[in-house]
Amino acid sequence: MAGQRRETRSIGIGRLFGMVLIVGSGGGGAARAESWSLQPGSPAAVTDEAELTPAAQPFGPVQAAAVPIGAPAPRSRSFGAEVGAVKWEAGALFAYMTATQIAVTKKTEGFHFQDEGWFGKDTTNLGVDKLTHAYNSYLIAEFLQSRIARKTGVKGSGAVTAAVLASGLMIYSELYDAHKVTSGFSIQDVLFNTGGAAFSVARNTVPGLEQKLDFRLLLIPNSDIYTFKGKRHYAQQRFMLALKLSGFEGMERSPLRFLELHAGYHASGFTGPDRARGETPRRRIFYGVGVNLKELFFKSPRSTAGRIAGQALDYLQVPYTAIHIE
């Protein structure tokens, strides 16, 4: 069963990665209004047309190539070889971050640190921006790991290499913040970047974890439907872990396989209009039960659209498909 589920993960990776990262990123409010996000059609989202077939573009852990009986098993490559396998992908992300940061950076000063705090009520975004950092780093690590595994043909390979590259790219982006008048180099951001990448390592190396646990973003529509930056953008975001019962042995044919257990965090009352109305900033931990839409509709998709939709559900939670209690 696990092998069958893994086979449905082959999709047009550039298209999905761009789609997921743009909704997860956004402006950072007054202090971090220049957070970058990957737009569809950007260099990091472009791949060769010849590689856009479902079987050629996996995202997340991939099934290793079959090894003939008696043939030696493929060996994991060195760190340098794995970096070389994704040099173009990593280079495209590096170039995109550079171009974006140069475009949004206005007033600068010497390198300096800024203590942004964690999840306190006195912080700019009550910690939601920190989870955004973790989520973006997680997505980059997942993307790079999938490319390494595909190119090396070794199941689960490249998880650590991808995490190191993702963390390095996020630190590179943070170096621009370190010279902006409106922000600074945030140790908190770096730690959450590392945490997101580390979760990708665990999900790709711990047997069965990929089938059991997802790190997702839930966006609650507002009056704009979707706000691209600023505090209203962060107010829409709910980050959560989804425990999928379908991933547990003995649940494969049980009706319970269509259910998930959720736990997450979001905040409210911290936007400019909220504070002007005298609202009290609130930090909220929620939990609940949701419907496993991938198991219900996209367990064994045959079309490219079905594979893309099923893959996206590993990273995005569809609004109003769960019951959450705060």
pLDDT at 5: 43
Residues 6 or more apart in contact with residue 112 via CB below 8 angstroms: 178, 179, 184, 185
What residues have CB less than 8 Å from 205, skipping those under 6 apart?
Answer: 156, 159
DSSP annotation of 279 reads P
**Which residues lie across from 317 on neighbouring strands?**
218
In the predicted model, residues of the chain with pLDDT beneath 50 are: 1-13, 27-58, 61-65
Q: Which residues is 287 bridged to in the sheet? A: 263, 325
Q: Which of 101, 125, 115 is nearest to 186 (CA)?
A: 115
Half-sphere exposure of 205 (CA within 13 A, CB side): 15
Sign of CA dihedral 286, 291, 293, 299: positive
CA atoms within 13 A on the CB side of 8: 24
Q: What is the pLDDT of residue 275?
A: 86
Q: Which helix (H) or strand (E) holds 241?
A: strand 237-244
Contacts (Cβ under 8 Å, ≥6 apart) of 251: 245, 257
Question: Would the CA dihedral through 303, 88, 169, 227 be positive or negative?
Answer: negative
Distance CA 177, CA 109 (A): 10
Joined tokens for residue 63: 């099934």
CB atoms within 10 A of CB 193: 28
Residue listed under structure tokens 């070794």:
154
pLDDT of residue 239: 98
Pairing status of strand 282-291 against strand 316-317: unpaired
Per-residue model confidence (pLDDT) at position 225 = 85
Write out pLDDT tens, residues 123-179.
Answer: 989 999 999 999 999 999 999 999 999 898 887 789 999 999 999 999 999 999 999
Q: Number of helices (H) and strands (E), helices first, in the chain?
A: 12, 6
Q: How is residue 290 written in tokens?
A: 């949701």
The greatest distance separating any two alpha carbons of the chain, rounded to the nearest whole angstrom, comes to 72
Residue 239's DSSP bridge partners are 217, 265
Counted residue by residue, the chain has a size of 326
Q: Are 203 and 196 in contact (CB under 8 A)?
A: no
Whether the model clears a pTM of 0.85, i.e. scores above it, the answer is no
- For 41, 43, 234, the CA distances from 54, given in Å and listed in that order, are 18, 20, 33
Residue 97 near residue 36 (C-beta atoms within 8 A): yes
Torsion from C-alpha of 183, 188, 193, 197, nearest 10 degrees: 180
